[in-house]
Structure 1
Amino acid sequence: MSTVELRTDAEPVTPAASGTGSGTGVRGWTRPGPTAREQRYDVLLGLGMALAAVFGTELARGGSPNHVDLGIGGVEPYVLSAAIALPLCFRRRRPIPVLLLVAVLFVVNGERALFSFQGNLVTQSTMFMAIYAAVAWATDRRLMKAAVGLVFIGMFGWLTINFVKALQANSIEGPNHGLFSPYVSNVIITVALNVLYFFGAYFWGRTAWATARQRFELEQQATELAAQQEANSRRAVIDERLRISRELHDVVAHHISSIGIQAGGARRVMDTDPDAAKNALNVIEESSRSAVNEMRQLLGMLRSADPDLDVGTPDPKEPQAGADRLPALIAEANSLGLEVGFHQIGSPAELPTTVSVSVYRIAQEALANVRKHSTARSAHVTLRYLDDAVELEVLDDGRPKHAPVGSRLGHVGIRERVGLLGGESEIGPRPVGGFRVRVRIPLDPQNRPLAGGEVRD
């Protein structure tokens, strides 16, 4: 048909170099396909649109002031109006093929059933929805832009052809002549409407695609944040377990070792020297009380965040572990039968609490290892106060016992303590015989740790 009246229809529009392709910034992300529920919705939408299109065609036929040609079999307009809507059943599963098929049927409708094409709102809506679905759901963005560009060029070409035919037939006339002739006015209005129609569908689809991508990125960030928080929580739990393990080892191992030695001595001399056995039992009593008190201090620190939980109150008269208690620790070791000397170099300085406690615990662990795992009869402890660090050295003159002993956790704990404070440790046998435990802890917490040595059970 050569007659083209395009004043109120939603015909094609020029593709006008839009330059705002939706492919920018999409690399690395592909929109997931529609869900089963969305696919069912599309099927219902396509079928409903097809029925509505048939009904709209009948309304357009009845409302036409002129006789209409019903084409092949008297049903061609009805078939074409339904056919253009049915591809919408797959608009999100196969958006690009649906777009191309709808575009072809759109032109066929305009050529074969002009009355239905111009007067059926469903037909006009179908093209809009096909463009929107292609831009919003196509996974291959380059192919989508090519398909949309091809459709726009095809529509622009078809619209141009109809304008030329109308000009040749002089079919666009009117009694009123303003700034522009009726023909020019009709062309401007039609082109403007089609620009809004087609590019409106394009940018609406592009916005939907960008919104989906943003939602995906937010969900991905939330997932990564949750995983990071879980990892941090797991790391915090592991670190806390290691810290508790070190504290329990230092508290329990020392006192239990002392109790074991004293109990063995008391058993051997109980019949021959009751006074010595009594003294040994006194030492056992004091060691057990000290162990219980230090355990309560540790539990109180661990449970300090819950003031309603009663974990026992440590004895306030019990001295706290620290570098200033080294002489008392050495006196205790001497009372257990190990000859321990003590030498302090430099002017005593007030150490940070963590450093002071670590110095005491390291000396405690080193002396306990000498008693349990070495043949040494004597040891020497040296505490050096340096300008920017404090250094502790424990030497003995023995050799490792041949019996399988130790879990190596004591020396591991020493290294961990020193490492956390940014210091260095040297643990291992001496070239001239015996064993050495030497640690150097900086007073400046920003100092970096150095390497440590080998451990001995």
Structure 2
Amino acid sequence: MFERLGAPSRWSLALLFPIALLLVAFMPIGATALWVAALLLTLALPVGLMRRHALSALIVVLVSGAVFVPAVHNMFAGRAMLIPLLVLADIMVGNVAASTSRWRSIPAALVTVAVQMALAAVDNPTGLVTVWTVELLAVVTAWLIGNSVRQRRQYAVAQRAEAEVRAVQAERLRIARELHDMIAHSIGVISVQAGMGRRVIDTQPAEARNALAAIEETSRDTAAALRRMLGTLRRNDVESGPAAREPAPGLGDLESLIARTEKAGLRVGLLRSGTPASLPADIDLSAFRIVQEAMTNVIRHAGTDRCDVVIEQDDQELTIEVTDGGRGGAGLSDHGYGIAGMRERVSLLGGDFSAGPRASGGFRVHARIPLPGAGA
């Protein structure tokens, strides 16, 4: 109700509070229900300031009490209104503690205790120790509750900020993985084709032209993919909704990936077994990137012209294995971005990953990814 009022209206109602208190005090108490309703309406007048002007609302209540109690302390109505007035001040103290810093709320609570003790001394000079103790405990309790609310709000804000930071970091890592996997594979293909073209350009011009054509096609595809990714990053969330984004690659794109890889001189044997079914987007993309990165490592480090890719899928898990008969990972650091990126992808999906030389020679990349619903 008070939020719909403008600031001048809220201040006007609050400043009418001491006048309304005096009017209620001099009302006849014969009609008890009417008198109580008037009292409650009067106590609600400064509430309009509580949300945006907590400290000001408390000052209005304290000043009004300081004026009101000495004026009517000998009247029955005045004494009957004292306790509700003290409770309202305690509520205001809790509101100040919940909405302002401690260096403001603590002095406000101390001033409130002092004013309440002074009013109690004016209204009832006897038994002050008990009254003062009750008033002190009430103010302290109100301040502790308000301070607890403020701390919970601050904690919630800190949690939201931390969650946003984690989300940004996770998105940066995801983008870094995507860029690494895409560019490393393309550069590997281009490097092999360029080296082959340079060696045969004088003796086999046709093969050199084929190598240059493969370099051109790979470069064009990579540039287009980079433009799509950077364009998506530049658009805001509203403009780049799910319908506006380019579809992410998956295991269904392995054939085209293998075709591009074979142009670099690497023959790939693909074997898929089990019961292929639609995979969640994150698993499908990760599986594609693992195969892509493993083949890139073969091109760059294995020193062989062949590798084998085995994809097995059932209702429980997806298994990926890429093997070659090359140098067993010589020159390939386990701490490089490729191996680390594959391991991180599988770890995020709750699977197992291993990569290393085979006892029979060559290198083996193995990933096992559990599928949603497995074990349910």
Q: Which TM class, normalised by the smaller chain length?
A: 0.5 to 0.7
Partners of 1:127 and 1:384 in 2: CA distance = 78
In structure 2, C-alpha distance between the alignment counterparts of 1:217 and 1:285, rounded to whole Å: 65
Task: After TM superposition, give the deviation of residue 208 of structure 1 in Å.
Answer: 1.8
Q: Distance in 2 between matches of 1:126 and 1:440?
A: 71
**1:259-270 matches, cutoff 5 A:** 259-270=190-201
2:341 is aligned to 413
Q: Deviations over 1:360-380 (max 9, x none)?
A: 111110000011122233210
Q: Which residue of 2 aligns with 1:194?
A: 126
Uncovered stretches (5+) of structure 2, i.e. residues with no partner: 1-106
Q: Contact 1:423–1:447 (CA<8 Å) still a contact in 2?
A: no
- TM-score normalised by the chain length of structure 2: 0.61
> What corresponds to 1:237 in structure 2?
168
Q: Percent identity?
A: 37
SS of 1:358 mapped into structure 2: helix
- Match for residue 389 of structure 1 among 317, 327, 334: 317
Amino acid at match of 2:298: V
Residue of 271, 274, 285 corresponding to 2:216: 285
Contact 2:287 2:320 in 1 (8 A): yes
Report the AA paired with residue 231 of structure 1.
E
> Is 1:396–1:434's contact at 8 Å kept on the other side of the alignment?
yes
Structure 2 contact 116–135 (Cα < 8 Å) conserved: no
In proportion to residue count, which structure has more helix?
2
- Aligned length, in residue pairs: 260
Between the aligned partners of 1:369 and 1:308, the Cα distance in structure 2 is: 37
C-alpha displacement of 1:224: 2.6
Alignment of 1:42-191 (within 5 A): 128-129=117-118
RMSD (Å) for aligned C-alpha atoms: 3.3
Q: CA deviation at 1:320?
A: 5.5
Residue 428 (str. 1) matches residue 371 (str. 2): no
Kindly state the Cα deviation for residue 223 of structure 1 after the two structures are TM-superposed: 3.1
Whether the aligned pair in 2 keeps the contact of 1:391 and 1:441 (CA below 8 Å) is yes
Counterpart CA distance in 2 for 1:202 and 1:385 is 74
SS of match in other structure, 1:237:
helix
Change in 2 beyond 3 A, CA 1:438/1:127: closer
Tell me the SS of whatever aligns to 2:298: helix
Query: Does residue 255 of structure 1 match 2:255?
Result: no
Name the counterpart of 1:351: 279
Identify unmatched segments of 5+ residues in structure 1. Answer: 1-91, 96-124, 133-191, 449-457
Find the aligned partners of 1:202 and 1:420 in 2 and give their Cα distance.
Answer: 58
The Cα of 1:355 is off from its aligned counterpart by: 1.9
Query: 2: CA distance between counterparts of 1:379 and 1:126?
Result: 86
In 2: Cα distance, 1:128 partner to 1:275 partner: 102
Instruction: Give the TM-score, by structure 1 length.
Output: 0.51
Name the CA distance, whole Å, in 1 between partners of 2:115 and 2:166.
56
User: Does 1 or 2 have the higher relative contact order (CA < 8 Å, sep 6+)?
Assistant: 1
Structure showing greater radius of gyration is 1
